[in-house]
Structure 1
């Protein structure tokens, strides 16, 4: 049994002042794999005080020096990659090969992209030729409370922490209590990189405890949160009394519009993307909207692909999907699959219950529904499991209307051989991101949504800007 009860505060590992034990459950076996401490108000206060004390010095540190620290973080991160992969696989159920090839490298990718963006970032620049004595200064927002999820833990931790460090912020990280072990390794990476004490702090806790305490804390200047829309609302309310900045990356219900002229790999690409990480991705294309002339064969193909997916323990090598993260999530997915059946959607693959051969572990059958209407619960609620809803449409206009008929607006997808149509849809779809014909977004592209998918952007120069204030100065003397 792994025991990790300490927090990282002011450059040192310290015992919890106000803690209680929490077992970390391996979702592949339903057995405890570790014990952590959940912090209380005294721990939150200590971490915030350390970040507040460190802020003036870190803010005054030259950007070049901050960049050098991030370069060291990347160097150490790469030496701990296998430990990170093992921790992520055990605590949240990502198959070990996927943890090695996608979960951990997501962090490497973001750190590298932030370094590229930071080297070109102008923290201090003239307003313009028309105002030679006006200056625009970008300076850090202050102390940031960072609350990260369990589904892509290193992805989200690096998106927040590295951008905040480059910007000159100090921070308190509260990782998900479902995936705390990788975050503790990340704190060890920060420590090994030699950052000044108090710049980065970590306190484990749950949303009702440390999460709420950070959101309401008078000495926290900003909350950066990734998670559910429900939690995002609570955080926004808690932060309102102190008028702190709030950046939210919330849920999604992505539409994947497949037109009759889409390429032969469009359906397979869409199903596998939906099921990736056991469907536990906010940008998963969980609504497959299909032009009616291609609809019947698409349903058959999607069902066959889902039925062919293997499900297995996270510890086993190979290409398969693992369990969902915990018992609560397992039951939620089961209930929504049953809801789809009850509301009249046609089940063409999967269904309720565990896959054949499993009587333990939070395993879900890869599930596909056809003949879904967009007012059904499974078309409107974020399921966060390997469940795909297929909806027909007759015209481009109808497809756009269905895609936009959702409270969410994170990522939409377009599959068509007509470049003009693709461009039209990219402008018409109400989401922060649109991916077309399987082309992934480039390095440093901003990640984030609109509507109930949140506000703010992560990644590249936009991610750095999220942690900066803009100061306008007049009467500036150039060269002085």
Structure 2
């Protein structure tokens, strides 16, 4: 299957850009190679999956991972094929069959992937694709008594509905949900690096669950940080995602643009100030929304507390040297998916990261990910972890076989 993805990588990249508006160069250079890597990684990981036998009063304990059974995978629209194979690969490697229900806004690469699995020789019924709306198709799938696992990436309200339906049969669920991640910048940080990382949060027009949309800066370096940030962001080109020069493309859908703009308009009405952006890109029209940075926002405001999922960042400050306040602001939402910290002090980095509520913390970097690492969120950012052996623990039923000591009867013939 991975070979088939690589053979059709250009087709997949172009179709996905047409479907969701993400940058074509990103699909070519990063996303589609990652799709193939997802498949190969979990195939290899399966071969290394083992737990050493251990003894209990002379009895041998032997741990195995048995396929759990049919897995329903419901995937989002912001990175459709990559995030789908992040679930498909370990489920198939575990020996569980798969029913994929992709997001209705981005169905196309899932259908191409189904063709690739067929061409690769997967037996009928091993990988299954069902297109449709969540309220119809998704609801029927997660409530089915024959389903043994449900994995969902998306919003908190939808996860609640899935969990309620799955509870009738005690079907285990894995949820990767929203985020409202902080980017903490201390006065001892490399401010140019901090500005680079902040501008990187506009990747995929801000439609990234991990995005550090809440920038928290130590008061004394606020203006210096803003200077570096504005110098960089004004050089980023917004335009056609098929153009190599484009840095920020459109958002996914007219309804989503309206949702993003609604958050910003309400924030402005509540007293927020736009440092940049603050509305639609009228020069481009369509689904383009200007990269936006808002100041003058309160910690309990909607724009700080709720996931916008667009190219919208907020800037808050904390008093000089006040790590307690920095952590309070960073942890001050119902989410806990990720956090980014920029500091030149190793001891401070260790102190702060130990107190941050997040499934992933990046120190002086962003979006460095390894498939061997656990991925998921705390609080309302999710339930469970994916990646490495954690994926197999979910898509399998673990079994411990205990064998008594003694001689076995020899068999002949």
2:206 to 279, 283, 289: 279
CA contact (8 A) 1:287 1:389 kept: yes
Q: CA deviation at 1:208?
A: 0.4
Structure 2 CA distance for partners of 1:182 and 1:416, relative to 1, 3 Å:
same
Q: CA deviation at 1:477?
A: 6.7
Aligned partner of residue 136 in structure 1, secondary structure: strand
1:27-68 CA-to-partner distances (Å, cap 9, x unmatched) read: xxxxxxxxxxxxxxxxxxxxxxxxxxxxxxxxxxxxxxxxxx
Aligned runs of 1:392-411 on 2, under 5 Å?
A: 392-394=317-319, 395-411=322-338
470-479 or 365-374: bigger deviation: 470-479
TM-score (norm 1): 0.81
Determine if the alignment matches structure 1 residue 248 to structure 2 residue 209.
Answer: no
Structure 2 CA distance for partners of 1:130 and 1:442, relative to 1, 3 Å:
farther
Aligned runs of 1:114-193 on 2, under 5 Å?
A: 114-122=42-50, 125-128=52-55, 132-193=59-120
CA distance in 2, matches of 1:164, 1:479: 38
In structure 1, the partner of 2:304 is 379
Aligned runs of 1:244-393 on 2, under 5 Å?
A: 244-353=171-280, 355-359=281-285, 361-393=286-318
CA distance in 1, matches of 2:405, 2:147: 34
1:439-473 CA-to-partner distances (Å, cap 9, x unmatched) read: 62334212111110111222222222221222222
Q: CA deviation at 1:125?
A: 4.8
CA distance in 2, matches of 1:385, 1:464: 33
CA contact (8 A) 1:323 1:364 kept: yes
CA contact (8 A) 2:54 2:62 kept: yes
CA contact (8 A) 1:303 1:368 kept: no
TM-score (norm 2): 0.93
CA contact (8 A) 2:206 2:310 kept: yes
1:70-122 CA-to-partner distances (Å, cap 9, x unmatched) read: xxx11111111111101110000012112212322231332233234222111
CA distance in 2, matches of 1:435, 1:466: 25
CA contact (8 A) 2:98 2:126 kept: yes
Structure 2 CA distance for partners of 1:369 and 1:478, relative to 1, 3 Å:
farther
Aligned partner of residue 265 in structure 1, secondary structure: helix
Gap runs ≥5 in structure 1: 1-72
2:14 to 77, 82, 86: 86
CA contact (8 A) 2:6 2:32 kept: no
Aligned partner of residue 135 in structure 1, secondary structure: strand
Structure 2 CA distance for partners of 1:369 and 1:429, relative to 1, 3 Å:
same
Structure 2 CA distance for partners of 1:198 and 1:127, relative to 1, 3 Å:
farther
Determine if the alignment matches structure 1 residue 112 to structure 2 residue 44.
Answer: no
Structure 2 CA distance for partners of 1:198 and 1:347, relative to 1, 3 Å:
same
CA contact (8 A) 1:307 1:366 kept: no
1:206-242 CA-to-partner distances (Å, cap 9, x unmatched) read: 1101111111111111110001111111111111111
In structure 2, the partner of 1:98 is 26
How many aligned residue pairs are there?
405
In structure 1, the partner of 2:150 is 223
Gap runs ≥5 in structure 2: 409-413
Cα RMSD for the two superposed structures: 1.9
In structure 2, the partner of 1:58 is none
Structure 2 CA distance for partners of 1:175 and 1:131, relative to 1, 3 Å:
farther
Aligned partner of residue 83 in structure 2, secondary structure: helix
